[in-house]
Structure 1
């Protein structure tokens, strides 16, 4: 059978804000026989695997992973709708969201095996370069398989490129078999990369080891995880530079920080080739940059409520100074660096220059007034993301050409993995080190430290660590995975403050009648903006359905329970 390889002009991003990278027209068509000739062929092919494994936006990106959680709400319609259905629990086996997850990751895995099977054909490649490229592909294969296992549990373990006919007869492997394969690939990658320096944006020793840590965390294998966190601590450290070291990680000001383990690199477009990303278009409210902003994703009220007060106490903690009438006063600095809230400052482009105004989601016309621009379709929650917005003058105008890097793995996550593992393994005996870790993160952000007297049992410490993960890593695409692995997704944001079942809510509503045409919901005695109702059946939704299209093609595939 003649296999055709499609080569794309690789930009690492989507060619336009409404066009999937995978839908772009191929610029060259070649066969297996004449493609694998030079080292450049292999390198370009591997670069393409990076691009499709780590999209900056759309499905599979950290932002769309975040939208599946209780931290964020996806409001925009169109093909984004499939992610919203997954988030609110109304998807089914015939839906596009599970299908896209399944097919995207298996397409990437097929590319990985194309490299394994053809790299020996390449002439003139050095042993060192070959080993490095193989290590990168092993890292990429492991990343794609670990997401398949997480979403679907038992999946086919495919270890070669398949013909169309072979793909219709594969069977699922048990979870442990696939996990062992993932860890074997990562161990190979770690070994190959142990003595090599990689350019920014390519997998290196730390990236592979951090991914191994993440896989072990998702599987609750804490005894194996703990020593890896110690090993990574010898190489990485928290960003402490500047006046706002936390915010700088995501704004583009600290892209070379030693905290960043692996990130996606973006640069401004040049020569008509798109290289930036368009997070601003997703996050900006209508009117902030003409009519192009989509306000597609907004933070939720339960996320905002999770941030401590400036003195370190949670808003529901004994001794808290939280006052419902002034909910944004004296809060942890990370709240202000992550979320733009009502009465907070907001920037916008007025057609000729960048301006600043107070953000008001409930003015008399039920619009967000940005001086010269009235903004219909206001934020569904009353909030807007600040974290990962590119506030540079270029990106304020060209909102589809942002240049701040997107972090996939960073050291703060490793510290929180360590804290969780310590609590799970040692209970309250780990109190001192666990709180020391959390205080490191809070101190870096210039926030209040933990009130140690309030955390004495294993359960109290575990709640503390879980909440700290939520706020420290907000809008980094990890929250949904945490809710699922902790088996707390069926909880309600209204009653427990977290979870994927019941009413999702936003900002506090005014008491003067303004904006009261919107539906509201009571949360801790406060009237809050209602966003949507979500559904989560623990007998069903902890796994995604095997796409019905795949089962129709291959009757050997067994559907997950209750789908």
Structure 2
């Protein structure tokens, strides 16, 4: 995708200044600036303006651009300490307020929304594009892309802040005084926001290519009809979930004029809308779960679950960011022996969630799980002498987690053993670069990347993939029509790809709900979704507060030191009911007297 950002796009008009020496000198427009009229008179400038709107999409591959992993119960950021500048540290400890400014996307998204609306309002003025044989079709497509982006930014606000201010199609003038009535807008209701976003996505989809395969290679990463429908699935799943569907905690949440912002009445039909939206993606776009064989031609679940992120534009990719900071993620999640920072740690809670190879949970009878001793023989994924806690786990465990004694993924310089015990090559002794849990995130690291020699394999960063849509569908369907055969069918597609036994059809609704939530956590681990899942399910008070565990990183001088393999509290986190929604930044509250703050803030 050739989407470049203007180095300097000044949306200004010419100033008519004079001097005694040369009255024309200051009348000139510098070569590196263009007027807004020129932007919409030339094809190149209009396309670069649209590209600039695309750049508002969060670049969240690297840990310090987003708190969604470090503030979930799946992960920890080692560098989260006083004065570090990483927002997750004070958030996890409960040391924040509306004035803190942590993860403030409010202004950023609204800038993107305004730019998208401005583009849609003016792109029809571009005569250079209109004179092309397919000029009007191109303008319609560009306008649809901007409409999608605007809806995507509203969705980003909605999931973080709840009900937001809907601005409509006409951008607010940029020179208004803060006290102007146009600047004093109240929040729209949650259902109004959802319906608006969905309608915009549906409209955008009618003017976009159906699938990225219908685009030129250079346009991969731009919006498609499939992208619109996938985001619609996310929006409606969020709206159907307990946080926003019948949540009486928000019964008194209203605007100054008394308008209720979130309905406290449960509506089962919201689950149907969510199921229908996901099914539209499943049946309408020919996506499929990525599958890969090993060198002998035999299907390999480990390679399939690992390489779905490494094989560009495969059958599972719905939306991806072509320009990204994956190389920073790779260095951040590489062990110190590879010149990495080992900074994104996996919690013991997530480690325990992965099943055994036979498909049983570690606490189920007959699982074969052992939390003592070391293996005496190698397995497909582990070496002899591995602590038994990590032996015979399901393939996705080895895709997601680097543990003490595991081999580093890059073998170009030989097999290197990761040591996270105290004096190990990636241990705590003498360095900030260690995982506080004794585990390092491993997902989405290319086996040919090598931070030691600054070698990274460029590839798209997946924002939405088909497995998520399948999980959206079975969750919504289980809530609306428990027992529907599609629930087990599509849940088992994911388990089959992971090399696990199928879930038995016909389970009761609550038991199937637990299976679905488990599968979602494991399949989508470390993909910035768990944070929002625990909130929309209204379980974050149980999952995101209290003691967080890992191994004992303050002990051990060799791999077989049992003192290291002790469940140890590395942090006690705080989660209050108010944390289900981020606070609107205090600076925004100070500017808009009709804007009400989120409950508890």
Measured against the shorter chain, the TM-score band is 0.7 to 0.9
Contact 2:272–2:477 (Cα < 8 Å) also in 1: no
- Number of positions where the alignment pairs a residue of Structure 1 with one of Structure 2: 505
TM-score of the pair, normalised by structure 2: 0.77
Gapped regions of structure 1 (runs ≥ 5): 1-5, 11-25, 268-274, 492-498, 521-525
Separation (CA, whole Å) in 1 of partners of 2:167 and 2:581: 20
Matched, 1:50 2:54: yes
Separation (CA, whole Å) in 2 of partners of 1:348 and 1:390: 8
Aligned pairs for 1:1-16 (under 5 A) are 7-8=6-7
Range that drifts further, 257-266 or 52-61: 52-61
Return closer, same or farther for 1:85/1:194 CA change in 2, 3 Å cut-off: same
Q: 1:66 aligns with which of 66, 69, 74?
A: 69
What's 1:523 paired with? none
Gapped regions of structure 2 (runs ≥ 5): 10-29, 130-134, 241-269, 295-302, 373-387
Aligned pairs for 1:271-420 (under 5 A) are 277-289=327-339, 293-325=340-372, 326-346=388-408, 354-363=413-422, 365=423, 368=426, 377-393=433-449, 397-398=453-454, 402-420=457-475
SS in 2 for 1:487: coil
Separation (CA, whole Å) in 1 of partners of 2:435 and 2:45: 46
What's 2:313 paired with? 256
Post-superposition offset of 1:229: 2.5
Contact 1:505–1:530 (Cα < 8 Å) also in 2: yes
What's 2:499 paired with? 446
SS in 1 for 2:287: coil
Matched, 1:503 2:559: no
Separation (CA, whole Å) in 2 of partners of 1:143 and 1:170: 21
Q: 1:135 aligns with which of 132, 144, 151?
A: 144
Contact 2:38–2:45 (Cα < 8 Å) also in 1: no
What's 1:265 paired with? 322
Post-superposition offset of 1:514: 7.5
Judging by fraction of residues, say which structure has more strand: 1
Post-superposition offset of 1:57: 4.0
Q: 1:557 aligns with which of 577, 584, 595?
A: 595
Aligned pairs for 1:55-94 (under 5 A) are 55-57=59-61, 64-77=67-80, 80-94=85-99
SS in 1 for 2:548: strand
Post-superposition offset of 1:130: 0.9
Matched, 1:158 2:167: yes
Post-superposition offset of 1:338: 1.2
Separation (CA, whole Å) in 1 of partners of 2:238 and 2:35: 39
SS in 2 for 1:503: strand
Please tell me whether Structure 1 or Structure 2 has the larger radius of gyration of its CA atoms: 2
SS in 1 for 2:579: coil
Deviations 1:473-502 (A, max 9, x none): 1111111111111000000xxxxxxx1011
What's 1:37 paired with? 41
SS in 2 for 1:233: helix
Post-superposition offset of 1:467: 0.7
Separation (CA, whole Å) in 2 of partners of 1:127 and 1:407: 31
Matched, 1:529 2:576: no
Cα RMSD, aligned residues only: 3.2
Return closer, same or farther for 1:347/1:214 CA change in 2, 3 Å cut-off: closer
